[in-house]
Amino acid sequence: RTVYLNGEWLPEADAKVSVFDRGFLFADAIYEVTAVIDGKLIAYPGHAARLRRSLDALGIPMPVGDDELLALHKEIARRNTIQEGLIYLQISRGAQDRDFVFPQDLAPTLVMFTQAKRVLDNPKWKTGLSLQTVPEGRWAQRQIKTVQLLYSSLMKTEAARKGYDDVLFVEDGYITEASSANFHIITTDGTLVTRDLSNALLHGITRGSILDLAQRAGLKAEERSFTVDETRSAAEAFITSASSFVMPVVSLDGHKIGDGTVGPTSRRLLEIYIEDQLQQGDA
Which chain residues interact with ligand PMP by CB under 6 A?
A: 33, 177, 180-182, 202, 204-207, 240-242
Closest separation in Å from C-beta 181 to ligand PMP: 5
Residue 94 or 244 having the CB closest to ligand PMP: 244
Residue 43 or 95 having the CB closest to ligand PMP: 43
Closest separation in Å from C-beta 19 to ligand PMP: 26
Residue 136 or 177 having the CB closest to ligand PMP: 177
Q: Rounded CA gap, 101 and 32, in Å?
A: 25
Catalytic residue list contains 145: yes
Closest separation in Å from C-beta 204 to ligand PMP: 3
Residue 22 or 195 having the CB closest to ligand PMP: 195
Residue 95 or 241 having the CB closest to ligand PMP: 241
Closest separation in Å from C-beta 133 to ligand PMP: 15
Q: What is the DSSP string of the chain?
A: -EEEETTEEEEGGG----TTBHHHHH--EEEEEEEEETTEESSHHHHHHHHHHHHHHHTPPP-S-HHHHHHHHHHHHHHTT-SSEEEEEEEE--B-SS-SS--S-PPPEEEEEEEE---SS-THHHH-EEEEEEE--S-S-TTS-BS--HHHHHHHHHHHHTT-SEEEEEETTEEEEETTBEEEEE-TTS-EEEPPPSTTS---HHHHHHHHHHHHTT--EEE---BHHHHHT-SEEEEEETTTEEEEEEEETTEESTTSS--HHHHHHHHHHHHHHHHS---
Residue 109 or 240 having the CB closest to ligand PMP: 240
Would you give the end-to-end CA distance of the chain in angstroms?
A: 25
Long-range contacts of 53-59 (CB under 8 A, 24+ apart): 53/143, 53/144, 54/30, 54/144, 54/145, 54/146, 55/30, 55/91, 57/141, 57/143, 57/144, 58/28, 58/30, 58/93, 58/144, 58/146, 59/104
Closest separation in Å from C-beta 201 to ligand PMP: 6
Check 145, 156, 162, 220 and give the catalytic one: 145
Closest separation in Å from C-beta 193 to ligand PMP: 16
Active-site amino acid positions: 145
